[in-house]
Amino acid sequence: MRRLVEHALGAVFPTSAGIPGLERLDYGARLDEVLRGPPLMRLGLYAATLLFVLLPIWTVYTPLPSLLLSPSRLDRHANQLASSRIYLLRQLMLLLKTVGGLLWGADPEVRQALGLSPLGPDPGTFRGDELRVAAESPPRARR
Amino acid sequence: MSDYACDWRSYGHIAFQERGSVALEADYVVVGSGPGGSGAALVLARAGFEVCVVEAGPWRDPGDYPESMLGAMRDMMPDWGATVAVGDSIMPIVQAAVVGGGTVINSAIMVRTPDDVLADWRERHGLGDLFDERAMGLQHDAVDRELAVQRTPEGANFGSNNAMLLSALQRRQLGGKAILRNVVGCQGSSSCLQGCRAGAKQSANLGWLPEVIARGGTVISCARVDRVVFERGVAVGVRGRSRHPRTRVLGAAVDVRARRGVVIAASAVQTPLILQRSGIRLPALGRHWRVHPGAAVVGVYDHPVDMQRGATQGTASVHFRDGIAIQDGRPIAGTGENGIKIESLALPLELLAGRAAGAGQALIERLRDARHQAVWISAVRAEAEGTCRLGLFGQADVRYKPTQRDLRALRAGSHLLAALHFESGARLVRPGVVGLPAEIAPDQLPLLAEAPLDNRCWTWVLSHLFGGAVMGNDPQRSVVAPDLHVRGVRRLHVACAAALPTTLGVNPQHTILAVARILAERLANGA
Ligand SMILES: Cc1cc2nc3c(=O)[nH]c(=O)nc-3n(C[C@H](O)[C@H](O)[C@H](O)COP(=O)(O)OP(=O)(O)OC[C@H]3O[C@@H](n4cnc5c(N)ncnc54)[C@H](O)[C@@H]3O)c2cc1C
Ligand code: SF4
């Protein structure tokens, strides 16, 4: 399933004249985090991916899964789905776009290509965190 | 009293606990540490009471704050920001889940409660003089002093996105002003949503909660309260569970007994749920849930705007707070329609990418000019009322559907913002409305005035939330009586946005703070 998610995300954020697309970027660790996130988000992402893979017959009238489309058809398929008149489809695509946007927009290569400064780290630490405690060596808890 | 011993206790902060139980006793327990909870806790602590604040999120300091939006959603928001309101469309609800609550991720905008709101609370909701102009004014003055509220300087760190909206509003005399914020020495990093790493934003985790601790209080973080504990109709404490913020593993049971009272300040989404889980059955609980739904309009310019530099939000106007309509292509204020507030908002690339129309090459083309985009938003003073109830799996089940009048106000606001973009030199505008072209040129502006009045065609975001456990004198319509007790139980109070009986038409945190402080002062004075 993860491969399919990567395929769909890559089609939504493809490489384009001088700007790297998701398929060229190393975002695996961050995607892992997303997939470990809230179950509802994961389910939505999987549902969006499945529809993305199955619906070329409806968008570009081709009875093939999106994995087998030519690059230009795949691009048309992605754009048609994102602009669909059916609200639920649009919402599911919005979820794909949101997750893809979080991964693509934070990437240093993309940011450099667009003339934006790179982002710093996301430490994910907090007071009392073992990772921070190790650095600060505060008093240890005892029971 | 405590079966727990930990050296963190001596610092007044207890973080995630894996095993055993955390059992404490205090005069007051405050659940939630946003503006409502931290404001109430501080007043009680200053009055000499021992206060214990229980907060679901972790305590993050500026060095812990994320830089990316993915990090912000993961680290700062409940369930990665995946809470939604559902009506005939799905609208994301943006909130914080960290020590300091919304004060950590919000844009620090501080607007005093408008007098008409207070008159309405007095006259229609029977709140008497409790929150009159004088009482609220005193609180606002005190908060302004303590949090160094000041107008955003229009200097080097103001940012073009803000400066352009300010000029556009001033040219048309639409009441544009640099925003009042509780920020000292803003460095213009446009990243308030990720938390202010510069420490310029005066969020509650930096000042007020440390003071609560310094005055002998305790903050228990990473501890989600499940329910209030009652004995013979009196609230005597809360019960919850420690949860690791990274692994989400459940840890120690958390039990805090309150000698004098329990104050719930867990937001307009979570406060009604805690009361429901605690067995409170009141007709108004979970009802009268309101918001200021907002939507953005993007202008694309020939010159770089670089909204990633500047104050996240620096310019605003309340000119159309009492109503907006478009007549003959011009916006008219106070027309009997619903009002809006206009603001500039720097959206990070990651969010721009999710918002831009289309997918594939078409999407990337709309992001290629990211540096040339300016984002301005309108937030509607919506009249719709929704509900917030416990869902089947214990989650928040929020139902909300903006009315046609709300949509008309949003449409008028978007039309106005697009017009302002064009007057400021935008080459095209991306209205973000399904049913309209993804990009419109100046001569296509009239299309926006006719945009579909269908919620599913607009991308709303909900971040100003109100109600769910509102104050008032009508037992059928309110959860909190004018004496500020939750009806039918003793020593249980609400001190967050959930208690506000109406929307405000302005940013809410100053009002929430003032209301919470007034409640806490009354408790401190033995009410
Ligand atoms: C992105 C963003 C920008 C904003 N900008 C502004 C602005 O510039 N100016 C302004 O006035 N307003 C702004 N707002 C709105 C403002 O931040 C909120 O109205 C305000 O924070 C609400 O305060 P509160 O005390 O009701 O709840 P919150 O600030 O939401 O705090 C509630 C706290 O309770 C905790 N909690 C929830 N459930 C439990 C539980 N079961 N047990 C323990 N703890 C719990 C939460 O983790 C949270 O920390 C913004 C909001 C957002 C999301
Ligand atoms: S814009 Fe100013 S207040 Fe906001 S995070 Fe950046 S430095 Fe802090």
Contact A103 B8 (CB under 8 A): no
pLDDT of B4 reads 38
Torsion angle of alpha carbons A28, A31, A36, A39, nearest 10°? -150
Residue A100 clears pLDDT 70, i.e. is over it:
yes
Torsion angle of alpha carbons A71, A73, A75, A81, nearest 10°? -150
> How would residue A135 be classed by pLDDT, with cut points 50, 70 and 90?
low
Low-confidence spans in chain B with pLDDT less than 50: 1-10
pLDDT of A137 reads 53
Ligand 2 centroid to residue B188 C-alpha, Å: 5
HEC string for B193-212: HHCCCCCCECCCCCCHHHHH
The neighbouring-strand residues paired with B339 are none
pLDDT of B9 reads 45
Ligand 2 centroid to residue B10 C-alpha, Å: 32
Distance (Å, rounded) from C-alpha B61 to C-alpha B70? Answer: 18
pLDDT of B500 reads 97
pLDDT of B11 reads 65
Residue A139: its chain B contacts at CB < 8 A?
A: 7-8, 10
Mean pLDDT, rounded, for A107-115? 96
Distances B325 to B340, B408, B409, B416, B453 between C-alpha atoms, Å? 10, 8, 7, 10, 14
Contact A114 B368 (CB under 8 A): yes
Three-state DSSP at A112 gives: helix
pLDDT of A38 reads 87
pLDDT of A142 reads 37
Residue A125: its chain B contacts at CB < 8 A?
A: 60, 63-64
Note the pLDDT tens digit of each residue in B222-261: 999 999 999 999 999 999 999 999 999 999 999 999 999 9
pLDDT of B20 reads 87
Contact B352 A19 (CB under 8 A): no
pLDDT of A49 reads 97
Structural contact between residues B373 and B305, judged by C-beta atoms closer than 8 angstroms: yes
Structural contact between residues A79 and A35, judged by C-beta atoms closer than 8 angstroms: no
> How would residue A136 be classed by pLDDT, with cut points 50, 70 and 90?
low
pLDDT of B393 reads 86
Output the pTM of the full model.
Answer: 0.95
- What tokens were used for B478? 């309110």
Check pocket membership of B104 for ligand 2, CB cut-off 6 A.
no
- Classify burial at A11, counting beta carbons within 10 Å of its beta carbon; exposed 0-12, middle 13-18, buried 19 or more: buried
Facing residue for B69 by CB, picked from A33, A106, A123: A106
pLDDT of A143 reads 34
Mean pLDDT, rounded, for A122-128? 94
- What tokens were used for B250? 């459940």
Place of tokens 């979820």: A95
Residue A126: its chain B contacts at CB < 8 A?
A: 15, 58-60, 64, 221-222, 245
pLDDT of B475 reads 95
Mean pLDDT, rounded, for A40-56? 94
Structural contact between residues A16 and B365, judged by C-beta atoms closer than 8 angstroms: yes
Residue A97 clears pLDDT 70, i.e. is over it:
yes
Ligand 1 centroid to residue B35 C-alpha, Å: 7
pLDDT of B303 reads 97
pLDDT of A134 reads 64
Nearest residue on chain B to A80, judged by CA atoms?
B358
Structural contact between residues B353 and A105, judged by C-beta atoms closer than 8 angstroms: yes
Ligand 1 centroid to residue B465 C-alpha, Å: 9
What amino acid is encoded at B31 in this protein? V
Q: What percent of chain A has pLDDT over 90?
A: 83
Check pocket membership of B276 for ligand 2, CB cut-off 6 A.
no
Check pocket membership of B152 for ligand 2, CB cut-off 6 A.
no
Mean pLDDT, rounded, for A13-19? 95
ipTM over cut 0.90: yes
What amino acid is encoded at B280 in this protein? I
Question: Which residue segments constitute the domains of chain B, with CATH numbers given?
Answer: 8-60+204-288+467-524 (3.50.50.60), 81-93+151-195+291-465 (3.30.560)
Note the pLDDT tens digit of each residue in B143-159: 999 999 999 999 989 99
pLDDT of B336 reads 86
Residue B66: its chain A contacts at CB < 8 A?
A: 121-124
